[in-house]
Amino acid sequence: MKKLLLLTIILVLVFTMGACSQKNKSNTPENSVEAFLDSYKNGDIIKSMEYVENKTSTEIEQIKKNFIEDKDSKSSQAFLKTFSKIEYKIINSDVKKDFAIINTEITAPNLSKIIGQLIEEISSDNMSTDSIQSREDTLEKMADMDMIIGDKLLEKINSDNIPMVTKTINIKLVKKNGSWLIKTNNEFKRAITGNLVNTIYFD
Give pLDDT tens digits for 125-167.
655 554 445 555 555 555 466 677 778 888 888 888 899 999 9
User: What is the model's pLDDT at position 20?
Assistant: 40
pTM: 0.76
CA dist., res. 203 & res. 185, Å (int): 9
Encode pLDDT of 94-134 as tens digits: 999 999 999 999 999 999 899 888 888 877 765 555 444 55
User: What is the model's pLDDT at position 73?
Assistant: 78
Residue 90, Cβ neighbours under 10 Å: how many?
Answer: 15
Encode pLDDT of 60-81 as tens digits: 777 777 677 777 777 788 888 8
CA dist., res. 183 & res. 15, Å (int): 9
With a pLDDT cut of 90, the percent of the chain lying above it is: 35
User: What is the model's pLDDT at position 132?
Assistant: 47
DSSP state of 21: P
Lowest mean pLDDT among 11-15, 52-56, 59-63, 110-114: 11-15
Strands (E), the chain: 87-96, 99-109, 164-176, 179-183
> 158 by DSSP, 3-state: which?
coil
What's the one-letter identity of residue 94?
D
Say whether pLDDT at 36 is over 90. yes
Residue 158, Cβ neighbours under 10 Å: how many?
Answer: 12
For helices 145-157 and 74-84, give the axis angle rounded to 10 degrees.
20
Spatial neighbors of 198 by CB under 8 A, at least 6 apart, are 112, 190
Say whether pLDDT at 191 is over 80. yes
Per the model's pLDDT, the better-predicted residue between 20 and 81 turns out to be 81
CB-CB contact of 182 with 192 (8 Å): no
Residue 33, Cβ neighbours under 10 Å: how many?
Answer: 23
What Å distances lie between residue 6 and 3, 26, 83, 100, 138, CA to CA? 5, 31, 17, 32, 24
Say whether pLDDT at 10 is over 60. no
Lowest mean pLDDT among 5-9, 49-53, 55-59: 5-9
Lowest mean pLDDT among 6-10, 30-34, 179-183: 6-10
Angle at 114 between CA 139 and CA 182, to 5 degrees: 115
User: What is the model's pLDDT at position 26?
Assistant: 46
